[in-house]
Amino acid sequence: MAYSKLGLTKTLTYRGISLVIVLFGVLFLTVIVLGATGVSDRILDSMLMEELRGIRQQLVTQIKDVEQLNKAVEEIKKQLIIAYGLDKPWYERLPSMMLKIITLDLGSAKNIQSFSGSKQISVIIMERLPNTILLVTTAIIINFLIGLFAGTWVATKPGSIIDRLVSLYAAISYAIPTWWLGLINILVFAFFLRLFPYTGMFSAPPPTDPFLRILDLLWHVSLPLLTLIIALSGSWIYITRSLTVTTAQEDFVNVARAKGLPENLVQRRYIVRVVAPSILTNVILGLAGSIGGAILTETVFGWPGMGQLYYEAIVSLDEGLILALTYMFTLVYVIARFVLEVLYVVVDPRVRY
């Protein structure tokens, strides 16, 4: 008993460290790039100017003499330059900048506001994060289940017409850009057929009654979810099917039957249970793609999540927000990945050291 517990901890620790390195690596890389290209100077500069403007506005009510006002502002500006670290070269600001981001002190956005009116980036992000998680996680779970059931079912009929259709469907859906499919879906279902809304997460204004609110949410999430399912379930089904077919041919499955075990038990314990780690691996592998997909899908459907925020940041050229979002995406990815890795080690005893 003690043997496997130790192995578990060791494996997880190793994986955890690996992922933390990824996070820091990304952070380090982005901060260096920002510094070296002079972009971080620009960001800090504009933040400084912004703060200075606010201070000036405040002082205008207090100091009536223009000369005095300007001198006071100049003094404060000098202090701010030191406070922002703009008097030092960018590589000396590195550690404090990294520390700030790690502690989620992300500064404020240029033009974008949160729904509550705050310009604090961390507030904006925290508002949008649940929406992204809602959409992405639901899509992954549905696709996983479709893949599992349809895939194992198709695997019982290898070489049949339905099998070939599945392969064809998988190949085609691999080549279709999910975001374009989203555009087409909006065109067909919203514009031509008028069945679903064009954009957004709720109607404007959203209904106040909680039940109607949920219904409204479901109505709005249908099209993005449908897009993600059509575009991605194909490869899920195909992968599950391939893995199941391979596993079903293994010797131990034969042995299970020879042992006189009923067929559905053989399916569950000797095929699906054995295949589960590999399928989980695929979830892990697809995770990075899901993040990218989230960005694109949210943009197309106007879904107010982190992905759409990224798009808005690009359009409004808000470097500070883009930096913060790059880090946040990586953070979310690392956390999600770690959770899945834990799940994987639980499910597959072979990887425990």
CB of 264 to another protein, least distance (A): 12
- 144 or 238: CB nearest another protein: 238
CB of 150 to another protein, least distance (A): 20
Nearest to 122 by CA among 147, 149, 102: 102
Burial 211-235 (b: 16+ CB within 10 A, else e): eeeeebbeebbebbbbbbbbbbbbb
- 283 or 296: CB nearest another protein: 296
Please name the residues in contact with 353: beta carbons below 8 A apart, sequence gap of 6 or more.
7, 10, 11, 14
- 80 or 272: CB nearest another protein: 272
Containing 202, the helix (H) or strand (E) segment is: none
Question: How many CB atoms lie under 10 A from the CB of residue 12?
Answer: 17
- 80 or 101: CB nearest another protein: 101
Please name the residues in contact with 12: beta carbons below 8 A apart, sequence gap of 6 or more.
341, 342, 345
CB of 160 to another protein, least distance (A): 13
- 123 or 186: CB nearest another protein: 186
| Nearest-angstrom CA–CA distance, 25 and 22 | 5
Cβ contact 136:294 at 8 Å: yes
- 9 or 37: CB nearest another protein: 37
CB of 206 to another protein, least distance (A): 20
CB of 256 to another protein, least distance (A): 7
| Nearest-angstrom CA–CA distance, 28 and 241 | 41
- 271 secondary structure, DSSP code: I
CB of 95 to another protein, least distance (A): 21
